[in-house]
Amino acid sequence: MTAAIVGWAHTPFGKFDTETVESLVVRVANEAMEHAGIGPKEVDEIVLGHFNAGFSAQDFTASLVLQADDRLRFKPALRVENACATGSAAVHQAIRTIEAKAGRIVLVVGVEQMTTTPGPQIGQNLLRASYLKEDSEIQGGFAGVFGKIADAYFQRHGDQSDALAMIAAKNHKNGVDNPYAQMRKDFGYDFCRQESDKNPFVAGPLKRTDCSLVSDGAAAVVIADVDTALKMPRAVVFRGTGHAQDFLPMSKRDILKFEGCTEAWQQALAKAGVALSDLSFVETHDCFTIAELIEYEAMGLTPEGQGARAVAEGWTQKDGKLPVNPSGGLKAKGHPIGATGVSMHALSAMQLTGEAGGIQIPNAKLAGIFNMGGAAVANYVSVLERLR
């Protein structure tokens, strides 16, 4: 245990015409430092997670964090990117800085502004997180990629439309009580299950309720070494982490197994010295409901092909044996690409310190986080525990 989260900040996720990447970054950077009880001079390094890929005219964004306070001038700052896992890549980079004793306190910010981009271009931007030599002609952007995965899963394991609707309904219900969520509405199972004018098919068997939202938003965490964290009001320690990068082409692997996800979970749980059953809850990457279904299997909650059991039997509900996405997940909360992984860590820290409000899991002791970039290409897992 070398690093701990000691403060955080989180904007609501949604569509914000009056915000910019810069304004979102400045807001959460200042709020996170204030929450941690530190000043800019105490920050040793800044890491920004920002995917962009065409969403922002302003590229080269690492130094935008310095706009939060002039006293951040000359602090080392860098931007990291790993598709939809960009936020967790930033968090894990901060941990490496602390493990290397190159700094005691690192400010991590994740941000994306997507909604100012025209719809067709959004699809093109997101598709860049796939292997374009094979996937450039897929219709529907990244939804088309996961529609293809869902089709293949249905062919191998049977029609899973009921399970996907249960996952969507669960996450939307959870999102109602999350003040940061973009969509705070309980649609219910029947609406998520049935095709309708308001819930049409988008790609393959995936309907609109199976797809995460295009979002603007930012989140930040302050990460410190453990000795420093013990002197601060809050400390949520990293018990274990894992990062497994897989092949970009789906043709080089069995895309229905999410083997990189499995590898990252095994790494993190082994380092933490715990089993999946020890976790109080999991925040997992439900960019599409089929992803959450396969992740049940990849994390070891069910055997391969039996992920539907976890949701059908209530295991993943807020009062189940392993609550999954009590925040509402990407499905309800929204998915501003660079902010997502940082958001997962901030919300999990809130849970472990009893500060999660309406989404609070009672007596939460251990959190598991899985953040994925591309179609199970970049795979990051964190296991968190409250230290103080």
CA 155 – CA 158 distance, rounded (Å): 6
Q: What pLDDT is attached to residue 140?
A: 84
The per-residue DSSP string of 306-335 comes to -HHHHHHTTTTSTTSSS-B-TT-HHHHH--
Residues linked to residue 49 through DSSP beta bridges, in sequence order: 80, 110
Q: What pLDDT is attached to residue 139?
A: 86
Token look-up 């013990």 returns: 230
Q: What pLDDT is attached to residue 62?
A: 98
CA 333 – CA 329 distance, rounded (Å): 6
Of the candidates 244, 241, 242, 224, the residue with the CA atom closest to the CA atom of residue 233 = 224
User: Which residues, 6+ apart, have CB-to-CB distance to 366 below 8 Å?
Assistant: 239, 272, 274, 278, 279, 280, 352, 383, 384, 385
Q: Which pTM was predicted? A: 0.98
The answer to whether residues 376 and 286 touch, using CB atoms and an 8 Å cutoff, is no
User: Which residues, 6+ apart, have CB-to-CB distance to 158 below 8 Å?
Assistant: none
Q: What pLDDT is attached to residue 31?
A: 98
Of the candidates 309, 360, 326, the residue with the CA atom closest to the CA atom of residue 171 = 326
**Domains, the chain, with CATH or none:** 3-117+214-229 (3.40.47.10)
The upper half-sphere exposure of residue 200, i.e. CA atoms within 13 Å in the direction of its Cβ, equals 3
Copy the structure tokens of residue 285.
């990457």
Helix (H) or strand (E) holding 47: strand 45-49
Break the chain down into helix, strand, coil percent, rounded to 5. Answer: 40, 20, 40
CA 337 – CA 205 distance, rounded (Å): 24
The per-residue DSSP string of 189-253 comes to HHHHHS--SSS-EEETTEEGGGBPPP-EEEEEEEEEEHHHHTTSS--EEEEEEEEEE--SSGGGS
CA 312 – CA 374 distance, rounded (Å): 27
10 Å CB burial of residue 152 (0-12, 13-18, 19+) is middle
SS3 107: strand
C-alpha distance from residue 385 to each of 129, 170, 233, 341 (Å) = 32, 25, 15, 17
Q: What pLDDT is attached to residue 1?
A: 84
CA 283 – CA 63 distance, rounded (Å): 30
10 Å CB burial of residue 252 (0-12, 13-18, 19+) is exposed
Q: What pLDDT is attached to residue 167?
A: 98
Helices then strands (H, E): number in the chain? 13, 11
Copy the structure tokens of residue 38.
């530190």
Copy the structure tokens of residue 317.
């509900």
SS3 383: strand
The answer to whether residues 351 and 99 touch, using CB atoms and an 8 Å cutoff, is no
CA 63 – CA 184 distance, rounded (Å): 34
Beta-strand runs (E) in 265-365: 281-283
Provide the 8-state DSSP code for 374: T
Going residue by residue through the chain (388 aa), what tens digit of pLDDT does each one get?
899 999 999 999 999 999 999 999 999 999 999 999 999 999 999 999 999 999 999 999 999 999 999 999 999 999 999 999 999 999 999 999 999 999 999 999 999 999 999 999 999 999 999 999 999 999 888 999 999 999 999 999 999 999 999 999 999 999 999 999 999 999 999 999 999 999 999 999 999 999 999 999 999 999 999 999 999 999 999 999 999 999 999 999 999 999 999 999 999 999 999 999 999 999 999 999 999 999 999 999 999 999 999 999 999 999 999 999 999 999 999 999 999 999 999 999 999 999 999 999 999 999 999 999 999 999 999 999 999 8
